[in-house]
Structure 1
């Protein structure tokens, strides 16, 4: 598919980038007045901008390639680092303006206020820290798997399932992987949890079913006593690339479903299965992708047909917006829903009591456990990555949930 190249967005980005670069340079020259500094900074900025334009043009004709990834990520690192520097620089400038700190030099005939070299030094440290964080996120952070454990209490949990554990991953996006050895470490960590049940909540690939082929040997190692189950995510349907025909698109989806079987995953398509233990049972329900703005394919009524209102149910549904729209108030109680989709935007902070990511402005529940109306939702932060080939602050997640009978003590 040949994509249309639009020049206007490039002009806007270039103007923003060059304006940011000029402001960044104005601060940098406060602590280093060398005559060579300004030309070097501008040569780097202009060179990076032209390289970005060329990379986007090649992407329009050929799709994502290695050169495109390198240039886009280099541009992102420089832009983000300069933006952080500029934010601190602006704070200092506003402070000096408000408190009328005396000036000591002029620009274009206008008197300007003195900048503290100590504050500029701090801004530059933040610039360097941003570069380091992005490089770490791209090289190591995207494979820095972590296990997050939750213990959830239910009055209506069948007694035999008290202490039952499940492991959830989501959003593999196999087409983005470049390090099979690192992926294998994630697989080993999944198996090390020794959970009773394994579930995968969608987006096995970015677009094409063939993306998972190199990793079938990895993910097929995942085993659990009560089985491995999966659902589809929005990317699995191949909606984001152009196919030669609708038949080719349908064949791709069918092949992806076959690959789920090759992985040892039982793919649930608007259906449920019964898990039994010592005469007790819980219902595991899986629906096709249902997400506001990402296709509302799933049929919850169909998936629950034949179940009773008092059955204990666990729902696999890729997009957390489904929980707000249908699940949390569904007449037949669904005690636990498991979703993914958001990736936590692969960027944010979860430390020192702070939990923030830009994705919060799109999704009400974007990571972790949410409870409402006597029902739980867990949103997994994703096992893989997409778009930005890295993770900063929001690390790839393996969720382990233990079900307990009774009220939380």
Structure 2
């Protein structure tokens, strides 16, 4: 972001935060209006502005630090956590207050029309609406507190059984464990991370794949976790690809050479993890004399680096081969993969994190990610070709997860028609 863009962003941030602080303050004033002691009311009001004004100042300073350093680090994550918690909490409160304001303005308009200006009085706020707004907004507040402290390590296994008529008989029942978006630079609790690794190991799958974003910015971020993640092994191998964060594009480097050196170092980390890094290529997985092709491409995404070369990865494969593609960004499937003349039966992606915030139940799913990615999590199918989007193992920027838990995917390949 250039200097002018940074200034515009910060001004907009200050105005937005001030507006939210002022609007929610209307509920605070209404709720405290019943307190007879004026000094106590003034103390509460003053305390409100001290707390939320300080948060606004802290967040603005934090963004200045981010713009200066060119990256989000551990010292700036805390402010971002508080900022997101406060903003979401306040927005929920504002929804109730704004709804009440619509009703109040309608009542005022009708009253003015019927009674004229002489007897007109604008309806006051209802204390019960303000109390309700504050109570309901406490739900996202405590959800974010949980997500920041516990939710980011609340690892879940998502199991999917997918049927393919073209699957070779020998691979009927073949299992794949997938993790994605480790973002090792965000981790602080090795013991909590190990629980997720142990959960991945316990699936005892035939094949293990990692679908990109090993780090946030720099190759060295994975160093404290090399031994831990290298524990994940599978009889038919461990394979990996690159994600958009692995290229070092989101941090300032002293020179092009330094950035290039970091990238080469990042690629070497995969071998230290005992992961075979697939760079626009494929490998043949053989079982009982039958074969499937596992392809892996560099990052390809709409709005992000589009370096992956699918055609190169497909060299020496045939339409009749059963193929699985590792591609970090699910937009690749939408744009190139699902309609490719050389059929790719299953694509495994990550990238979205499900925005680390939302609702994920068997009945209802929602996340802000859906407004950017039509396929933001889970399994989708089109014309017999499947995409699975993993919600990510780690986290970035916001160091928490609310409703969208870190995921380990277990996929079982089955021979035959879909039974869904």
Give the TM-score band, short-chain normalised. Answer: over 0.9
Match of 2:367 in 1: 357
Match of 2:164 in 1: 154
Match of 1:57 in 2: 64
State the Cα distance separating 1:124 from its structure 2 match: 1.0
State the Cα distance separating 1:119 from its structure 2 match: 2.6
Distance of 1:375 and 1:58 partners within structure 2: 45
Match of 2:205 in 1: 195
Distance of 2:66 and 2:3 partners within structure 1: 8
Distance of 1:66 and 1:281 partners within structure 2: 45
Per-residue CA deviations over 1:254-297 (Å, capped at 9, x if unaligned) read: 11111100101011111111111111111111111111221221
Unmatched runs of 5 consecutive residues or more in structure 1: 104-108
Distance of 1:45 and 1:146 partners within structure 2: 35
Match of 2:91 in 1: 83
Report if aligned partners of 1:167, 1:198 keep a CA contact under 8 Å in 2. Answer: yes
Match of 2:38 in 1: none
Unmatched runs of 5 consecutive residues or more in structure 2: 34-40, 112-118
Report if aligned partners of 2:14, 2:60 keep a CA contact under 8 Å in 1. Answer: no
Q: Classify the secondary structure of the residue corresponding to 2:121.
A: strand
1:23 paired to 2:23: yes
Distance of 2:184 and 2:261 partners within structure 1: 19
Match of 1:232 in 2: 242
Distance of 1:347 and 1:176 partners within structure 2: 17
1:256 paired to 2:235: no
**Residues 1:22 and 1:3: Cα distance change in structure 2 (over 3 Å):** closer
1:72 paired to 2:72: no
Distance of 2:77 and 2:19 partners within structure 1: 24
1:246 paired to 2:253: no
Report if aligned partners of 1:101, 1:114 keep a CA contact under 8 Å in 2. Answer: no
1:13 paired to 2:20: no
**Residues 1:405 and 1:349: Cα distance change in structure 2 (over 3 Å):** same
Q: Classify the secondary structure of the residue corresponding to 2:42.
A: coil
1:122-271 pair list within 5 angstroms: 122-271=132-281
State the Cα distance separating 1:86 from its structure 2 match: 0.9
State the Cα distance separating 1:96 from its structure 2 match: 4.4
State the Cα distance separating 1:4 from its structure 2 match: 8.5
TM-score with structure 2 setting the length: 0.91
State the Cα distance separating 1:66 from its structure 2 match: 4.4
**Residues 1:329 and 1:43: Cα distance change in structure 2 (over 3 Å):** same
Match of 2:395 among 353, 367, 385: 385
State the Cα distance separating 1:61 from its structure 2 match: 3.6
Report if aligned partners of 1:5, 1:57 keep a CA contact under 8 Å in 2. Answer: no
Distance of 1:248 and 1:89 partners within structure 2: 52
Match of 1:307 among 301, 311, 317: 317
**Residues 1:378 and 1:66: Cα distance change in structure 2 (over 3 Å):** closer
Distance of 2:84 and 2:412 partners within structure 1: 40
State the Cα distance separating 1:19 from its structure 2 match: 1.8
Distance of 1:260 and 1:12 partners within structure 2: 41
Report if aligned partners of 2:27, 2:131 keep a CA contact under 8 Å in 1. Answer: no
Report if aligned partners of 2:77, 2:397 keep a CA contact under 8 Å in 1. Answer: no
Q: Classify the secondary structure of the residue corresponding to 1:35.
A: helix
Q: Classify the secondary structure of the residue corresponding to 2:283.
A: strand
Distance of 1:341 and 1:89 partners within structure 2: 36
Distance of 1:178 and 1:261 partners within structure 2: 23
State the Cα distance separating 1:110 from its structure 2 match: 7.7
**Pairwise CA RMSD of aligned residues?**
2.2
Distance of 2:314 and 2:207 partners within structure 1: 20
State the Cα distance separating 1:148 from its structure 2 match: 0.5
Report if aligned partners of 1:232, 1:289 keep a CA contact under 8 Å in 2. Answer: yes
Q: Classify the secondary structure of the residue corresponding to 1:325.
A: helix
Aligned residue pairs total: 404
Per-residue CA deviations over 1:134-155 (Å, capped at 9, x if unaligned) read: 1111111111110001110011
Distance of 1:94 and 1:110 partners within structure 2: 17
State the Cα distance separating 1:120 from its structure 2 match: 2.2
Per-residue CA deviations over 1:231-275 (Å, capped at 9, x if unaligned) read: 111111111122222222222111111110010101111111111
